[in-house]
Structure 1
């Protein structure tokens, strides 16, 4: 009977030590999965933005006199507004920090293909001075780029 009591006394505090070792690793996995989900969502949103802008442009392209198609500045501006804000003349971006300057539209010479490229600078939730950086601020952000090409109607 005394040996069982002694072995129980030796076990006290063991659960706290195990939790102290495993919980930081478990929280790191939770945050990493959350950040990966944010990256995937924002990349999917960026692809949708580029695709919708390209669809709008191919439907509003006019036959050109010197080139196969002609895109006016007004049509390009409307396509960028629709892509970034969801409406023309909007003010709230679909992705935070995303603007009409992050969208480029190109039509290669001699083709009827319209290419829309959207670039978004992704930043993680926990950005800046993390442990192991020795007091320096490190930028953990990276660009997400989506490029869509479609033939004009």
Structure 2
């Protein structure tokens, strides 16, 4: 077999392997991006929890208000949601694409004086939510939910 034939075989092999190599590179990048965003979301929830724990008790009773709502804690719930999602009070651009204040749930337990922040964030890959089954089956959904929860004692 001559040199020209060897070069032709190498091009054909490369052409066959290229889609798999690209898929591997993109999958690795998306996994890294997902881990980074999960870590970032966890940090955001933890920071918001610290803020909420210091603002939830507004009087000198050192007891979490019952019922625990914005009216009884000086808008601490709305402010915490803004801080978590936008990084500042009254923001409009979320720190994570697609994150909204409606994804954040804040509750308080007046018995244990704990405040709990829960976030359900639907992570989506850059290249779209679904991948085609290429006629071999149903499309596959590539997005998944990040569920992050943080509890802290109020007033500390």
TM-score (ref. length: structure 2)? 0.82
Please give the per-residue CA displacement for 1:99-145, whole angstroms capped at 9, x wherever unaligned: 11111111234111111111111111222563425396653211111
Determine if contact 1:67/1:110 at 8 Å carries over to the other structure. no
**What value does the CA root-mean-square deviation take over the aligned residues?**
2.5
Structure 2 residue runs without a partner (length 5+)? none
Determine if contact 2:115/2:152 at 8 Å carries over to the other structure. yes
Q: Secondary structure at the match of 1:47?
A: helix
Please say if 1:30 is aligned against 2:31: no
- Identify the residue that residue 151 of structure 2 maps to in structure 1: 149
- Identify the residue that residue 98 of structure 2 maps to in structure 1: 97
**2: distance between equivalents of 1:137 and 1:98?**
25
- Identify the residue that residue 48 of structure 1 maps to in structure 2: 43
**1: distance between equivalents of 2:113 and 2:147?**
23
Runs of 4 or more above 6 Å deviation: 63-67
Q: Secondary structure at the match of 1:107?
A: strand
In our comparison, the structure showing a higher alpha carbon Rg is: 1
Determine if contact 1:129/1:136 at 8 Å carries over to the other structure. no
**2: distance between equivalents of 1:132 and 1:93?**
33
**2: distance between equivalents of 1:72 and 1:12?**
72
Q: Secondary structure at the match of 1:117?
A: strand
Match of 2:142 among 135, 140, 143: 140
Please give the per-residue CA displacement for 1:47-89, whole angstroms capped at 9, x wherever unaligned: 1121111111111121789993125510111111011111100
- Identify the residue that residue 3 of structure 1 maps to in structure 2: none
Q: Identify if the C-alpha distance between structure 1 residues 113 and 133 changes in structure 2 by more than 3 Å, giving closer, same or farther.
A: farther
Determine if contact 1:107/1:114 at 8 Å carries over to the other structure. yes
Pairing of 1:80-91 with structure 2 (within 5 A): 80-91=81-92
Determine if contact 1:129/1:137 at 8 Å carries over to the other structure. yes
